[in-house]
Amino acid sequence: MTIKWRIEMGNGINHGMGFLALVVTLVSSPALLLAAQTADEAAMPTDPYLWLEDVEGDRALSWAREQNQRSEGELQAHPNFDEFQARHLEILTSDERIAYPGLRGGEVYNFWRDAEHVRGIWRKTNLDAYRKDDPDWDVLLDVDALAERENENWVWAGAGCRYPDYDRCIVSLSIGGADAAVRREFDMETRRFVEGGFELPESKSQLGWRDLNTVFLGPAFSEDQMTDSGYPRTVQIWERGTPRSSATTIFEGEKTDVAVTGVRLWDGDVFYDLIFRSPSFFTRQVYLYRDGQTHRLQIPEDAEVVGLLKGQLLVELKSDWVQAGQTFPQGALIAASMDEFLSEGVEPDVVFAPAERSSISQVVTTDQAVIVNVLDNVVARLIRFVYADGQWQAQALDAPSMGALRIVTSDDQTDRYFFNYTGFLTPSSLYEADAMTNRHTQVRAEPSWFDSDGMSVSQYEATSADGERIPYFVVKPKGFDDNVTYPTLLSAYGGFEISRTPFYSGILGSSWLARGGVYVLANIRGGGEFGPKWHQAALKDNRQRAFDDLIAVSEDLVARGITQPSKLGIQGGSNGGLLVGAVMVQRPDLYNAVVCQVPLLDMKRFHKLLAGASWMAEYGNPDDPDDWAYISQYSPYQNVSADAEYPKAFFTTSTRDDRVHPAHARKMVAKMTAQGHDVLYYENIEGGHGGAANLKQSAYLNALIYAYLHDRLADGGALDD
């Protein structure tokens, strides 16, 4: 069975079960933040911009609004801004978009936003109706109506429903798009919130079903309940009809942990209660809670539990594991029974082991099968595994080739699943498939939002500073001429084992490709394109490799004559914002535009701000002199200089981002401005880590970005040498 604590996300796609995809999030406490600031101001008197860490302080917000006014005025004056915004809103709110399904109990669930439903509606229908062009949807919850009725800026944050009956759900509602959310029990029959039911005030606490009358609770309301990262430190069992304060604690982690959480895992009619303790972002200890006792499973701490089928627990390895004289390879999918994993001498089966330039990007289960989505040199394929007679049997599944595949949802009670196929020039298509018959049928397809005739996609490799080959995709506009250099937008991420694969974007296509621009997606180290080793190659003291990789791709683009520095821009968000910020500081001569979104930039203090402590496994601990020795070499905020000439960068963030603190972008802009650099800044006063709380805000933000890119790279005859 696919892990059952996945939530239905805003786009309707059920994401996989990575530990931090669980609904455990951090409460943003102004009191705690200000207390931390006071201590740090004494310790770091040389930083004159600590006051910008006061998220909603009058002085900080006044500064942000002043920056917004200046930057918005400049970017809105671009002759294409209004056209961009209108087109983006048309694309984002179109009824022709795919209503992505989430399968639950034989029914199809979907969350939908459009021009009429700006905040969105949560709805469901049956399979027969869904297969039709215009299904009859049963609206479960209208978030716009709820926000108006309660006079609150609600943003949908997902729902976790009780398996296998799906009669009750825990609905999460964010205020303004923050990660912190209010959680309320919802009755699927009455379509109402349950009076006196399970409910939590705004926080990043965890709440998950055990049965109709008990839930796992991970409280995160006060400092003593939270880890240093701000996530729940305990797992409790909370019974219906009792006060939250009476919940029984069954497990307690350490203050230095990232988080602990409890989940009920189902395998047909059999269930297991598991507790996940995560000492760091990339390590976890798994405990079986049985008969009031916890029993630790013998699984490597850096491995990840990804599913359960036919009594076999599925585990993905992140490093080589030696057991009973046998080496189970890094990146492999292994399996054994729950009881076997409780024993010291467990000898699991190898379900699948990737090759040198391949990796597992996704594992889901149906009633009888495990489906593995494999990336081969960043091109996807699907493989089915069936457990029979004590062995795993493999078969390739039919699916469109040479593009990006993503399993959207699967049904644990049948072998039905839906997958999405897309490419840079291929609009997304949704397929319904059966894992056992190996048949698939297209049920949805998005329209073409731009004319791709004459455009092409190529894949190249650049050689990084240490000799590693770095693949990257180049999307070329119609009439591409090898003798002309083009305005080029380069994007990458390079962190947390997150893979970047081809995708279709009507906004990118209509605002950039169709107007003669080149788009480049680089698969740099730090990501997961080639498995755990590709990620680990850029961890901590090797972080510079990710920056070197992006620089190498940039130089390769220039060497191939595709672009030149005056026409080259880079874009990244979150960890990708750190990436482009660091590369801008190190090689300002290579770029004429930098879009740095919801970024990490002050790497001296990232671990003291919001959820930052949880990322020390990725970056290191700045308070450790050995770690700071290498972090200090690339931290953008510490290395930006008044003596350098930087491109006119555009920084964006959100006041309500309670994952990556808005002070990173605020302080960088304040410091660069004081140094005499010309920069642009936009802070959405709501919006969360995604930067926008609704489709209108997303259309507006993207219009600002493309107005900036055209102004810096493509206007004034930039296509001419």
607 is catalytic: no
Indicate which residue of 574, 635, 654, 698 is catalytic: 574
Residue with tokens 């869904």: 130
Cβ–Cβ contacts within 10 Å for residue 367, how many? Answer: 17
Per-residue CA distances from 608 to 389, 455, 604, 659 (Å): 52, 46, 9, 12
Which residues lie closer than 8 Å to 513 by C-beta, 6 or more apart? Answer: 450, 452, 455, 475, 477, 519
H or E element at residue 666: helix 663-674
574 is catalytic: yes
Cβ–Cβ contacts within 10 Å for residue 646, how many? Answer: 18
Residue with tokens 């506009």: 477
**Alpha-carbon torsion 667, 670, 676, 680, what sign?**
positive
Indicate which residue of 554, 689, 698, 710 is catalytic: 689
Residue 272, class by beta-carbon neighbours within 10 Å (0-12 exposed, 13-18 middle, 19+ buried)? Answer: middle
Cα separation of 176 and 654, whole Å?
10
- Helices marked H in 454-543 — which ranges? 506-511, 532-536
Q: Are strands 192-193 and 168-175 parallel, antiparallel or unpaired?
A: unpaired
For residues 207, 208, 210 and 215, what is the CA-based torsion angle, rounded to 10 degrees?
10
* 178-201 core/surface letters (b: 16 or more CB in 10 A; e: else): bbbbbbbbbebeeeeeeeeebbbe
Residue 401, class by beta-carbon neighbours within 10 Å (0-12 exposed, 13-18 middle, 19+ buried)? Answer: exposed
Cα separation of 341 and 336, whole Å?
7
The phi and psi torsions of 258 (rounded to 5 degrees) equal -80, -50
The torsion region of residue 146 among left (phi > 0), alpha (psi -120 to 50) and beta comes to: alpha
Among 7, 1, 17, which residue's Cα sits nearest to residue 362? 17
Q: Which residues are catalytic?
A: 574, 689
